[in-house]
Structure 1
Amino acid sequence: MPRPRKTQISIEDTLYYHCCSRVVRRAYLCGNDPFSGINYDHRRDWVQSLLLKLESIFAIDVAAFAVMSNHLHVILRVDIETANRWSDRKILEQWHTLFKGDDLTKKYLNGDVLESHEIKNLQRLIAVYRSRLCDISWFMRCLNEPIARRANKEDNCTGRFWEGRFKSQALLDDAALLTCMAYVDLNPIRAKMAETPQQSDHTSIQLRIQSALKGETPPNLLPFIGHEKENQPTGIAFSLQDYLTLVDETGRIIHNDKRGVISSNSKKLLDKMDIPHENWIKLTMEFGLLFHGPVGSIEELTCYCQHLQKRRRHFASCCKYLHIS
């Protein structure tokens, strides 16, 4: 039985979550359907465009994503601080880009005078919307529902398009984040849809490479900021170049189906993350099979379970693959 989302999300322990949605019926997001002969590649554009649009509306950052033939992977970072900094007007403006709102919120945005009882109701609504704009469930709802309606309309049918609720997975430390990002970015190579990360369409790694070649940073993706220091902007706490090199080398090994070699620089990055070299390929090939719940060190997993009042540390045995013991 699926667990309530509130028993899986602990902002106190981590801001990063790996989410996955899968198509329920014999339907495609992209490629050629062998039964109908129809090509659905354009649907991946729908998902990517909406995903990056929602990133600019919600107080949630996109760290990585991959839009595949019949499923979607996305790694999200909840930005509570930004949501709390937004003014009341900003909250309503962001919400109105997604929903029509009601007469009260429209009245406030138009600058009309509000009665005392209206002010109280407005403050209640703003508190609700502020919470929703940094809520992963609302983010995924606003992503999946429009895609489902649009696909059903195109297929001239009704019913579920996605496999019920999306799956979410807490990434409790930098090693879990690095490994999961590489797993997500290498999806097209594992599926033999692409030979290199640069050729992997509709992925965050392709956007990062294209921007890096121009000396830029993708505007709708959480940036790499190197190793964390004081007064640095929010971002991923390791080097972009190190990450791109590691993913490229890993992709070559996976594509060629050979043992291959991970360079000394990439090994240094793995060492900093406390990830065993000998487990790296297995982790990036089988992350989804190895980890069915929260991912991180035993210590991080223990704190996570305590904060969510879980009696048992489920999935603790999987931690042996991720961290050097």
Structure 2
Amino acid sequence: MTSARRMLIDANTTPFYHVINRCVRRAFLCGEDKLTGRSYKHRRGWIVDKIKALSAIFCIDICAYAVMSNHYHLVLKIDVEKAKSLTQRDIISRWCQITKGHAIATKYMNGDALIDGERMLLDALIAEWQERLSSISWFMRCLNEDIARKANREDECKGAFWEGRFKSQALLDEQALLACMMYVDLNPIRAGIADSLQSSDFTSIQERLNALSPNSITPLIIKTPVDNSQPTLHKSLAKFDGATHLHRQTGIPFHFADYLELIDWTGRAIRHDKKGFIDNQRPKLLNELGIASDAWLSSAKDFRRQYSGISGRWDAMCAFKLQQGGKWCRGKSSSEALHPNQPLG
């Protein structure tokens, strides 16, 4: 039975989530329809622009994204502390950018005096809106409704545009986050529609690489920068802060140079026509985390299918599932391969 979204997403357990949504129509979401010859590639830009616009409104950062021909992937981070720090005016201003708001909120923003009943109503509205501004469900609702309306207008039709509600995976620890981001960033290469990270259009890794100095990139896959300097990116993209714990940082808990080294190595390994994959030159992150090469490459290819709605240490996965009211989750062998030092369950 399908679980309620509030049970699948718990920012207190983990702020990181992988979400996926797929187009329901036979026509492509963003690619080229082979039956009609019509191209929908421009819609990929719609999605990227919209997720960035929404990230600036919501307290949700984008760790990774990939917009494919008939579906898209996002790795999102809920910034609960930022949501808690918003003032009443901040909350109203942000929420009114995506909805009409409320007459009482408009009255308050204009500086008009409120009676007791109006103040009580405003406080209730602000509490509700503050919670929604850190909600992935509301983020996805605003994203999908906007894209569906634009596509329906362009197609001159009505009806469902998306296959159903979005699917989500909770990423409970560093290994799960790293594997999922790699899976998302390498989507076009794995699908055979791009031959390098630089040519992987509408992906976060392409955006990060384009922001680097041209001298630090080669035509093959990438050349890892010699330091951990951050490229200048859109503010919606989460930064790599190099922290060592998932819950004790403001961005992605790895060094940027280490991530680039790993994605370069992984990209070469999953492409049979690329030379340079030498197992004894394993990336620093794999050595630090103790992950075997075969297990890592398997996760880079099949992360989405290895798990259901949870990824992490097996004991943490079971605890999260029990918290949801369930008794079984998928991915024990994959979890144990990515977490070689975890207790046996």
Give TM class, smaller chain.
Answer: over 0.9
8 Å Cα contact 2:279/2:293 also seen in 1: no
Give the letter for the 1:58 counterpart: F
Matches within 5 A, 1:291-306: 291-306=307-322
Uncovered stretches (5+) of structure 1, i.e. residues with no partner: none
**1:199 matched residue in structure 2:** 199
Give the letter for the 2:231 counterpart: E
**C-alpha distance in 1 between matches for 2:144 and 2:263:** 28
Deviation per CA, 1:215-251: give whole Å up to 9, x if none.
633122000011348xx86111111111112112211
Is 1:217 aligned with 2:227?
no
Deviation per CA, 1:87-112: give whole Å up to 9, x if none.
01100000011111121111111111
Closer, same or farther: CA 217–299 of 1 in aligned 2, 3 Å = farther
**1:153 matched residue in structure 2:** 153
Is 1:56 aligned with 2:56?
yes
Uncovered stretches (5+) of structure 2, i.e. residues with no partner: 215-229
**2:340 matched residue in structure 1:** 324
**C-alpha distance in 2 between matches for 1:275 and 1:212:** 28
Matches within 5 A, 1:222-237: 222-228=238-244, 234-237=250-253
**1:27 matched residue in structure 2:** 27
Aligned to 1:93, what secondary structure does the other structure show? helix
Matches within 5 A, 1:63-74: 63-74=63-74
Please state how far the C-alpha of 1:301 moved relative to its aligned partner.
1.5
The percentage of aligned residue pairs carrying the same residue is 44
Aligned to 2:19, what secondary structure does the other structure show? strand
**C-alpha distance in 1 between matches for 2:138 and 2:203:** 22
Aligned to 1:153, what secondary structure does the other structure show? helix
**1:288 matched residue in structure 2:** 304
8 Å Cα contact 1:224/1:239 also seen in 2: yes
Matches within 5 A, 1:79-94: 79-94=79-94
**C-alpha distance in 2 between matches for 1:84 and 1:257:** 49
Closer, same or farther: CA 262–43 of 1 in aligned 2, 3 Å = farther
Higher mean alpha-carbon deviation, 238-247 vs 5-14, is at 5-14
**C-alpha distance in 2 between matches for 1:156 and 1:83:** 39
Please state how far the C-alpha of 1:289 moved relative to its aligned partner.
1.7
TM-score w.r.t. the length of structure 1 is 0.93
Q: What is the aligned counterpart of 2:257 among 237, 241, 245?
A: 241
Please state how far the C-alpha of 1:162 moved relative to its aligned partner.
0.6
8 Å Cα contact 1:174/1:273 also seen in 2: no
8 Å Cα contact 1:175/1:274 also seen in 2: no
**C-alpha distance in 2 between matches for 1:87 and 1:272:** 41
Give the letter for the 1:217 counterpart: T
Aligned to 1:75, what secondary structure does the other structure show? strand
Aligned to 1:97, what secondary structure does the other structure show? coil
**C-alpha distance in 2 between matches for 1:280 and 1:262:** 14
**2:75 matched residue in structure 1:** 75
**C-alpha distance in 2 between matches for 1:182 and 1:4:** 28
Please state how far the C-alpha of 1:260 moved relative to its aligned partner.
5.6
8 Å Cα contact 1:173/1:297 also seen in 2: yes
Deviation per CA, 1:136-156: give whole Å up to 9, x if none.
100000111100111011111
**C-alpha distance in 2 between matches for 1:209 and 1:259:** 21
Give the letter for the 2:105 counterpart: T
Give the letter for the 2:182 counterpart: A
8 Å Cα contact 1:13/1:303 also seen in 2: no
Please state how far the C-alpha of 1:58 moved relative to its aligned partner.
0.2
TM-score w.r.t. the length of structure 2 is 0.88
Aligned pair count reads 323
Please state how far the C-alpha of 1:60 moved relative to its aligned partner.
0.7
Higher mean alpha-carbon deviation, 6-15 vs 146-155, is at 6-15
Aligned to 1:73, what secondary structure does the other structure show? strand
Instruction: Report which structure shows greater RCO (CA 8 Å, sep ≥6).
Output: 1
